[in-house]
Structure 1
Amino acid sequence: MQTFLRFARAIAAAALLCAVAAPAEAQVLGPAPEGCTDEVLPSGARIRLCIPRRGWNGDLLVWAHGYVSPLQPLDFYSFSFPEGFNPQEAALSRGFAFATTSYRRNGLAILPGVEDVRQLVAAFRARAAPAHTYLFGVSEGGLVTTLSLERYPELYSGGLAMCGPIGSFREQLNYFGDFRALFDTFFPGVLPGSAIQIPPEVIAGWFTVYLPKVQAAIAANPSAARQLVRTAKAAFDPDDPETIATTIVSVLQFNIFATNDAVEQLGGNPYDNRGRLYFGSHDDLLLNLRVERFAASARALRSVAEHETTGDVSLPLVTLHTTLDPIVPYWHEPLYLLKVDTSDRGVVVPLPVHRYGHCALTNEEILGSLKLLLALGR
């Protein structure tokens, strides 16, 4: 009974999380404040350019937002940080100029995001010449930040990448695919579709029909839920078993809302688990015999390769990441460091935050990381 109550509380918390996140934990920045103008790039991306009318310190902070569902409108997005950190307010209240873009599309928009941010900086420089330009972003925007520093170092003075899939984009996609394939093995028949194809009715009915089914399945079989997160290598807080249900719902939600768009944008299925062995269940042999196998398309893998970081960074890059991140796993950080040539003149400073949650960062942690970046980038 105690285990059931813990999972029931977790399911309620996960439902609240989903109602807020839906599904990307994005928050709209709101109307342009004084000193800001909103425009549209030739690509269709919206941009916001802000210069303090009084007391500008001469530097520019550029914000790269995280993943936003293709079902949402183009807008200027922040992120639902626990303490409500607002990048626009943080920049302008401290004397920085601020710029951001909606990107030209929602959904998988990493490469378009890199280009739109480049054009955003050019549009700002047509109005004023900042002494330094710092790029900072969260989640998908963390990868946009890192790729931007690698590919256009002449535009920036440094960057802060928060909880981004910077170590391996392909392994991030495999992580999402593995989680769904394993969920279908431990909880067969709960969700229609598969790891690589989501029926439209599941997307439309996620909150009203299928999320309740997932919650009920977790509550009815907590042992299978624990085996799922172990075999998928998904993060949860070992001191708080309720986070198991939160992890399951959160990762599945990305599978539901992001999979079809990713397949379309990449030109095919990028997920491949044909040679993967899964460990951590009560019967690994049976699990590996039962789990559905998928083959990635060559075209999709070529597209995925274009999204990969190289580690060739010649500017200061600060990374900030929660160590128990269920959406973008912390293992991206060491994977990225393995790519970096330490003899290069760039400085990569990883800052781990020992906490559960996807970018569950405090205002103090974010502002402290920005302060470090500014010190390194001058």
Structure 2
Amino acid sequence: MKKIIALLLFTNAVFAQKIAKIDSGAINGAAFRIVFPENWKGKLVMYAHGYEFMGSPLQSKNPEWISRMKPFTERGFAVAASDYRNQGLALVQGVDDTEALRQYFVNKYGKPDSTFIAGHSMGGGITIATLENFGKNYVGGFPMCPLAGRIYLQTKKEFDLIAAFNALFPGYMPSLGEILDKNQSTKPVPMNVAFGKAMKIKKEIFAKDSLLAADIADRFDLKPDDLPFALAFGENVLRDIAIKGGGNPYDNTNTLYGGFRDNLQVNQKVERLTANIAQDKLFAQYDRTGNIDKPTLALHTVYDQLIPAEMAIGRYENLIQEKGKQDYFTVKYTDGQGHCNFTEAQTGQAFDELRAWVKTGKKAQAGYIK
């Protein structure tokens, strides 16, 4: 479980850094931090962080954050990152606050020789949305383990997972009706509570029926051990959405659930809800279009317990093909086992391939990174 927490927060490595200067402050209520390496070459990476549980320590306060930026700073890039105005699901704020910080950087330090945008997880989604809407300001994008598909569809995965689990293991999780009730989800579950709940669920459901738990996990591209964590994380995301949107944007009255040992049983027992707020209230602004025109290299692991590759890559690739933008998108993958579980060397190699693509105009080749 500690490893999963580390992967979620990207706090799994510490490196000595030669940082010449740190600029910090706040823009429109969003704290930021900019680091300049000693070998700064006038280049910039705008970095977008991933989903943070409400109440988690801010990125700008994390002493390990600078170390995690080593694949960029050791290559002579300054790195600028916003905390965003709010935690949790912050796709819109992430795009706007990252753009505001980029403008601050240009006004204070001048226009960089070249500017890339990069991010992990939800930050990978912010990276893609930024390229779709503010691409003129960048030479390339580096979304890693990205929340890349249409946001409604990706977050409905959490909804469907809990719906199916509750149908087969009733009583271990709150109902979806409770989770998505704006009057009951008054505050997202704190991170320590969510992980504690996951450990309790894991012990109880594996004692009751480990084979059934494994079946549910397999249906949602999860390893059995990761199922309880995915449930707890999904509950937090859905409560966050109910709070920010003021209700439930999901409708599964016409959904036919499949891929289980007994599909009829699941569909007869699953909780059915109708939406009481429109999808566009939370998901329309900066939702995915596939309309990119700058080199974009996505990096993903072969196994991801939070954003499976089919969602992170497959659905966005369909949008790109609809727009005829395939020449601007390539995917590299690693043998990593977990959300954003890349090594420093893998991240650096992928970033180097993106930089070479930008410099030469020759598209980076898709494929495996050791």
Q: TM-score, normalised by structure 1?
A: 0.83
Q: How far is the alpha carbon of 1:286 from its aligned partner? A: 1.5
RMSD: 3.0
Distance 2:61 2:50 in 1: 8
1:192-212 CA-to-partner distances (Å, cap 9, x unmatched) read 343535767993654556631
What are the within-5 Å matches in structure 2 for residues 1-378 of structure 1? 15-17=1-3, 20-21=5-6, 24-27=8-11, 33-41=19-27, 43-52=28-37, 54-76=38-60, 86-126=67-107, 127-194=109-176, 196-197=180-181, 203=189, 205-208=193-196, 211-230=199-218, 233-236=219-222, 243-246=223-226, 248-332=227-311, 333-341=313-321, 343-344=324-325, 347-378=328-359
Contact 1:202 1:210 in 2 (8 A): no
Distance 2:309 2:66 in 1: 21
Q: Report the AA paired with residue 33 of structure 2.
A: R
Number of residue pairs matched by the alignment? 348
- Determine what percentage of the aligned residue pairs are the same residue: 26
**Residue of structure 2 equivalent to 1:4:** none
Q: Report the AA paired with residue 93 of structure 2.
A: P
Q: How far is the alpha carbon of 1:56 from its aligned partner? A: 2.1
Q: TM-score, normalised by structure 2?
A: 0.84
Q: Report the AA paired with residue 319 of structure 2.
A: K
* Shift in alpha-carbon separation, 1:203–1:340, aligned structure 2, 3 A: closer
Contact 1:85 1:363 in 2 (8 A): no
* Shift in alpha-carbon separation, 1:208–1:234, aligned structure 2, 3 A: closer
SS at match of 2:221: coil
* Shift in alpha-carbon separation, 1:208–1:142, aligned structure 2, 3 A: closer
Distance 2:12 2:241 in 1: 23
SS at match of 2:81: strand
Q: Report the AA paired with residue 40 of structure 1.
A: A
* Shift in alpha-carbon separation, 1:136–1:188, aligned structure 2, 3 A: same
Query: Unmatched 5+ residue regions in structure 2?
Result: 360-370
* Shift in alpha-carbon separation, 1:58–1:320, aligned structure 2, 3 A: same
Q: How far is the alpha carbon of 1:306 from its aligned partner? A: 2.4
Contact 1:273 1:293 in 2 (8 A): yes
* Shift in alpha-carbon separation, 1:300–1:347, aligned structure 2, 3 A: closer
SS at match of 1:76: helix
Distance 2:22 2:57 in 1: 21
Q: How far is the alpha carbon of 1:267 from its aligned partner? A: 3.6
Distance 1:129 1:287 in 2: 56
Contact 2:187 2:239 in 1 (8 A): no
Q: Report the AA paired with residue 158 of structure 2.
A: F
1:285-310 CA-to-partner distances (Å, cap 9, x unmatched) read 12100010122234234432324210
Query: Unmatched 5+ residue regions in structure 1?
Result: 1-14, 237-242
* Shift in alpha-carbon separation, 1:77–1:328, aligned structure 2, 3 A: farther
Range with greater deviation from structure 2 (368-377 or 342-351) = 342-351
* Shift in alpha-carbon separation, 1:343–1:183, aligned structure 2, 3 A: closer
Range with greater deviation from structure 2 (252-261 or 206-215) = 206-215
* Shift in alpha-carbon separation, 1:344–1:329, aligned structure 2, 3 A: closer
Contact 1:74 1:105 in 2 (8 A): no
* Shift in alpha-carbon separation, 1:169–1:209, aligned structure 2, 3 A: closer
Q: How far is the alpha carbon of 1:222 from its aligned partner? A: 0.8
SS at match of 1:377: helix
Distance 1:292 1:32 in 2: 54
1:346-370 CA-to-partner distances (Å, cap 9, x unmatched) read 5111123344321222222211110
Q: Report the AA paired with residue 87 of structure 2.
A: N
Range with greater deviation from structure 2 (285-294 or 341-350) = 341-350
* Shift in alpha-carbon separation, 1:120–1:328, aligned structure 2, 3 A: same
* Shift in alpha-carbon separation, 1:292–1:45, aligned structure 2, 3 A: same
